[in-house]
A and B are shown apart, each in its own frame.
Chain A
Amino acid sequence: MYAFDVTRPKTVAEAVAALAGDEAQALGGGQTLIPTLKQRLASPATLVSLTAIDEMKGVCADGGTLTIGGGTTHATVAAEASAYPALAALAANIGDPAVRSRGTIGGSLANNDPSACYPSAALASGATIVTNNREIAADDYFQGLFTTALNEGEIITAVKFPVPEKANYQKFVQPASRFSLVGVFVAKYADGVRVAVTGASENGVFRWTEAEAALSANFSADAVEGLTASADGLINDLHGDAEYRAHLIKVMTKRAVAAAK
């Protein structure tokens, strides 16, 4: 790693001020950023650790909305998001236990790795990404590979999830890395079904709108049987070609619908 300073502000306001500095970079749980720094793929002058900011931590259910602080770890979401069981289950299967002790929902969403789990939950739930100065709808937030609507120095302070009637996340893992080769999050709301796919696209998480229409009319695995997910723009690598991933999208969607509760 190149040399850098680490600061640990106690409040969001202090963190925002620190991030205004030259070459400053936010550090969440560090489970992606620290390996990146070791490879010298990033060279910040200052890392602003968000782990000491208590106001950004915690899970709170209130009137059909589950609000999770941006600095909340995957382990805490797994343990405390019982109001949204599919989300708790997703968090319980990210990485491994040590990664879940440190990694945070805000860090995952800010990084927007095309194989990360959380972006699919946020997009399928129509979640709201709350930052230090605005609220961003998930549909506007995800803008491509490792790209989001966040501005320089903007911090995800919380994520608001409308709790669905039923939901489920199915992940087909790449057996060595355990990252999702394809992950599908299905969420059924009173006004329709949303289906978000991670791991598959060269542009990151996306909604499978044909499946959403079919499932909104008939919420059963059979409803997507006649559909074919397009292989256009899907990731083509040694772990699976685009057609294989397209096939997995349908299989994982069907499994998620069958398991949704």
Chain B
Amino acid sequence: MTKVTMTVNGKSVSGEVEGRTLLVDFLRDAQRLTGTHVGCDTSQCGACTVHVDGLQVKSCTMFALEADGATVTTIEGMGNADGTMSALQASFQEHHGLQCGFCTPGMIMAASSLLKVNPKPTEAEIRHHLEGNICRCTGYHNIVKAIMAASGQDVSAIAAE
């Protein structure tokens, strides 16, 4: 076992991990941050998406040891400081960007990562950015709509389907 220390959602945390301990297992099992989901465990679905040093990664495809010293943000760190939802989260609620909700943490982490570098993405850019995040309920339409709305763009032209 090896000790790792990282900053998770603004708080310094430490723990003992095996070499094979995945970052997602460290977050969920040791830190009890269960908002980060394991959907496929094969690096395809994106439900486990978190930010490591500001970059979106699949936490099921990175070892906890590789995040030693890093700054990690999970879905639990995405709300406003007063406990209310961020504009992006509220937009998912407003535009029905989820049904079962299992993929939603990953969708929020991916979308926020896109909006950071591209504050006004086109629909095509949003769909391209979400290539690594799978939703099996919504057909993506309302997710795309929620992200566009969160970026302050008019979504009335995007027909409800």
A-B contact count (CB 8 A): 75
Contact at B20–A31, with CB atoms within 8 Å? no
Contact at B55–A6, with CB atoms within 8 Å? no
Given contacts A8-B68, A97-B110, A98-B49, contact A37 B58 (CB under 8 A): no
Given contacts A31-B61, A102-B61, contact A75 B19 (CB under 8 A): no
Contact at B66–A98, with CB atoms within 8 Å? no
A66 vs B65: C-alpha distance in the bound complex, in angstroms? 32
Contact at B57–A101, with CB atoms within 8 Å? yes
- How many of B's residues come within 8 Å of A, CB to CB? 28
Determine whether A62 belongs to the interface, using a CB cutoff of 8 Å to chain B.
Answer: no
Determine whether B140 belongs to the interface, using a CB cutoff of 8 Å to chain A.
Answer: no
Q: How far is the CB of B132 from chain A (nearest CB, A)?
A: 3
Q: Give me 18 A-to-B residue pairs in the complex whose CB atoms sit less than 8 angstroms apart, sorted by A's number.
A: A3-B20, A6-B2, A6-B20, A30-B62, A30-B63, A30-B66, A31-B61, A34-B22, A34-B43, A34-B61, A47-B63, A49-B65, A97-B110, A97-B129, A98-B46, A98-B49, A98-B58, A99-B132
- Interface size range on A against B: 20 to 34
Contact at B56–A51, with CB atoms within 8 Å? no
Interface residues of A (CB under 8 A from B): 1-6, 8, 30-31, 34-35, 37-38, 46-47, 49, 51, 75, 95-99, 101-102, 178
Knowing that A37-B20, A97-B132, A101-B52 are A-B contacts, what are 6 other residue pairs whose CB atoms are under 8 Å apart, sorted by A's residue number?
A6-B63, A6-B66, A30-B61, A34-B22, A38-B42, A101-B55
Contact at A3–B18, with CB atoms within 8 Å? yes
A37 vs B22: C-alpha distance in the bound complex, in angstroms? 12
Residue B132 contacts which of A2, A3, A46, A98 (CB distance < 8 angstroms)? A98
Contacts of B61 in A (CB 8 A): 30-31, 34-35, 98, 102
Contact indicator per residue, chain B 115-133, by CB within 8 Å of chain A (1) or not (0)? 0000000000000010111
Determine whether B113 belongs to the interface, using a CB cutoff of 8 Å to chain A.
Answer: yes
Q: Which of B47-74 contact A (CB under 8 A)?
A: 49, 52, 55-58, 61-63, 65-66, 68
Contacts of A38 in B (CB 8 A): 41-42
Contact at B62–A34, with CB atoms within 8 Å? yes
Contact at A178–B131, with CB atoms within 8 Å? yes
Contact at A97–B113, with CB atoms within 8 Å? yes
Given contacts A6-B65, A30-B62, contact A98 B57 (CB under 8 A): yes
A3 vs B138: C-alpha distance in the bound complex, in angstroms? 39
Contacts of A46 in B (CB 8 A): 19
Given contacts A4-B19, A35-B42, contact A98 B65 (CB under 8 A): no
Q: How far is the CB of B16 from chain A (nearest CB, A)?
A: 13
Q: Across the interface, name the chain A residue whose C-beta is closest to B65.
A: A6
Given contacts A8-B68, A96-B46, A178-B131, contact A102 B57 (CB under 8 A): yes
